[in-house]
Amino acid sequence: MVPTHVYIVGAGFSLHAGLPLQAQFTRELLEKPPKKNLDITALTTYLGEFVHDVFDHDKAATAKFWPELEDVFTSIDLAANTGHHLGRCHAPSDLRMTRRVLLSRMMSMLHERFTTAEATKGHLWEKLDKFFMELDVNRSAFISMNWDTVIERRLSALHGMDDFDYGCEAVRSDFPAKGKAVVEHRLASGTHALSLVKMHGSVNWLYCDNCRQLYWFPPAKSSQVAKQLITRTEAKKLGLVPISDFARWHCKRCIDVQLTTQIATFSYLKALDFPMFERSWLSAEHLLRQAKSGYSLAIRSLQMTMNSSIFSSVFSCRVSIAPSSLSSQEERKSTLTLLTATIRGSSVGTSGVETMASKTSLHMVSRPRH
């Protein structure tokens, strides 16, 4: 069935599942775990030393005194990708390790925050569940700007859905009980897979740099993906144990090639020229062209989408915005102005996250507010 309702979601959506907004990422990365966790301590210590060397901050500096993550990623990417040192102690190879450590810690942090919120189930979590319970999964699709697996995990819990079409030819896979090559699980003919396009990658994806095959894994196993990013040599250097848990998995087709990941980070120059990103953007365009109604649950995500040359001409659907409670009135007004100027022949309005799914079930969107 062709989806008629497309939801564009950003960090404000995942906030309901206990995940941080971008401005809170650094604090959460450096947060000490409630139970002693030597791996997390080793990663945060390493990152603190890097920030001390490069930005001249105290090694024990709290998140308040750290540079913006965008500045950290941009500095690393600009130096490593052009073969330059970042200070005398950080050669390009060291910088690539630092980037992997940073990504690994981010992935594990997102998993930790989700499981914590799942256990406590606060009022925001209840709103999120209400949204998913009222969602017509047969007529809906998502375009996500996030790396997390909130959508997959809640759809699995509330609708029993385990099959997703990421729109980038990713193959459903799992980690084997024995051996090192991942196991592919092709979908049976006629199986309904909800369309979920992730514009910047996902924490449950692994990629083969040789054959360019992309694999996706059960969303709850993102912590295993996080460990895949750190080589065993690096794990030994960092004091992570057991060493055998790191850089463990290999491509099904290229047995000798270890899998890695490709994530479009907060870097000023996002690396979007990989096959999965190109396919994802085209799939998102295809979904929006077919949709009768489009919903954005994130102000900044929609602004970025509107500015993209791919999307600037494809919105023939009605559009409704469900901004997070943290969006200011000015942001909402500016986004409505942008939408009105960009989308020809579309109905534009605003609504709350908790009422959005019920509106789709009634085949309705908000009228513009004047």
pLDDT digit string, tens, across residues 199-251: 999 999 999 999 999 999 999 999 999 999 999 999 999 999 999 999 999 99
- Does 340 or 21 have the greater pLDDT score? 21
Distance CA 132, CA 13 (A): 12
Instruction: Find the helix packing angle between 92-120 and 38-55, rounded to 10°.
Output: 130
* CA distances, 247 to each of 95, 129, 243 (Å): 18, 35, 9
- Mean pLDDT, rounded, for 131-149: 94
Instruction: Find the helix packing angle between 329-342 and 299-307, rounded to 10°.
Output: 30
- Does 197 or 332 have the greater pLDDT score? 197
* CA distances, 370 to each of 227, 322, 349 (Å): 50, 16, 10
> Which pLDDT band holds residue 32 (cuts at 50, 70, 90)?
confident
Structure tokens at 178: 């024995």
Distance CA 341, CA 243 (A): 55
- Does 330 or 244 have the greater pLDDT score? 244
Distance CA 326, CA 197 (A): 25
Order of strands across the sheet that contains 5-9: 164-165, 194-198, 140-144, 5-9, 293-296, 318-321, 348-350
> Which pLDDT band holds residue 37 (cuts at 50, 70, 90)?
confident
Structure-token match 């690096």, residue found: 234
170 HSE (CA, 13 A, CB side): 32
Helix (H, G, I), strand (E, B) or coil at 15: helix
pLDDT at residue number 269? 72
- Mean pLDDT, rounded, for 115-139: 94
Distance CA 254, CA 52 (A): 39
pLDDT at residue number 159? 95
DSSP single-letter state for residue 63: G
